[in-house]
Amino acid sequence: MSKDKKQKCCYIPERRGKVGGQAVLEGVMMKSGERVALTVRKDDGTKETKISKFVSIRKKNKFFNLPIVRGVVNFIEMMKLSFSTLNDSAEMLGIDEEMEETKFEKWLKKHFGKSVMDFIMLVAMVLGIALALFLFMFLPTFFTGLIERFTGDLGLWKSVIEGGFKVAIFVGYMLLVSLMKDIRRTFEFHGAEHKSIFCYEAGEELTVENVKKHSRFHPRCGTSFMFVMILLTIVVGLFITWENKLLRVAIKILLMPIVMGVGYEFLMYAGKHDNFLIRALSAPGLWMQRITTKEPDEEQIECAIMSLKAALPDEFPPEETGACTEEDGKDGENNTDATE
């Protein structure tokens, strides 16, 4: 069986969408409901699992669970969770301990104390969003404007060409970072995450051999979400007819929450349904996963399996998986560790 033609089977409806995940530094994070499980592989070959709790604001206020709105809320919360788990994985690997603190880091700790990591994550999130806006909003509009200097008004083609630049920038960026050794390792863990979730959704026993048989391309992946977002911005751009470049960018930014919300609803629908239209619209994102996921090795798959089982204690009791049970504590703060 080739790497691209993986086993296709029937999936258990109630398991689809029950668990999601993310690749981190030398490991995999899995989330089901309020439970978050993070497993990393250390340099000595041992694997450590950390269990924590993440309660969405959608649980506390019905407004944030409305269609479209929940997509925006989910994006913000997943950004926060992503930065948090990346930081946790670095701590579990001892990366922070190996690096000497800079004067700026010491100043931050002195003035912010324990909240310094929250401050750093906030700054990183803001910078990440700013970079994304520059790459996918400003640059495509700027390049399209340069073309119009030679061709004249592009009319409706303006939005399509801007979309083409967005795709080119996105693909080029991902190809570039995939050349980095550490990023490639993370993409391999990303593949392990997808394969293990597919195996679980198929109702198969979570073993390395069973997980190997499944595809590393998953329709609910964040990569697919990015492509759906790009396609939606092309459609939205058709209705933005103002010539002023800054005004066009500003209007697109203001419409981003709606685009995010619609993209999220589509991704959730695509993850639970399978028809020709869904396959056609999902195809670009799945193709992109050929870059953002790589075939994992057995130890990477084991990390993904450990995280998945730890995220589902009702189905995989802690005494069977080796993961610790969750202790009482504040939202997002209670966690325990288990080492294999």
Q: What is the predicted pLDDT for the residue at 60?
A: 84
Provide mean pLDDT across the span 221-231.
Answer: 82
pLDDT per residue over 24-71, tens digit each?
Answer: 989 999 999 889 999 999 888 889 999 999 888 888 888 998 999 998
Residue 336 belongs to what H/E stretch? Answer: strand 335-339
DSSP state of 29: E
Write down the pLDDT at residue 321.
56
Output Rg (C-alpha) for the chain, integer angstroms.
21
3-state class percentages of the chain: helix first, strand second, coil last, to nearest 5: 65, 10, 30
How many whole angstroms separate alpha carbon 217 and alpha carbon 46? 28
pLDDT at 319: 60
Count of Cβ atoms closer than 10 Å to residue 75 Cβ: 19
The percent of residues above 90 in pLDDT, for the chain, comes to 30
Cα-Cα end-to-end distance for the chain: 32
The answer to whether 198 and 214 are in contact (CB under 8 A) is yes
CA distance 300 to 24: 11
Q: What is the mean pLDDT of residues 238-264?
A: 85
Strand, coil or helix: 322: coil
Interval 74-104: pLDDT, tens: 888 888 888 888 888 888 887 655 555 556 5
Give 318-331 pLDDT, tens digit per residue.
765 555 544 433 34
- Please give the residue that has the higher pLDDT: either 145 or 340: 145
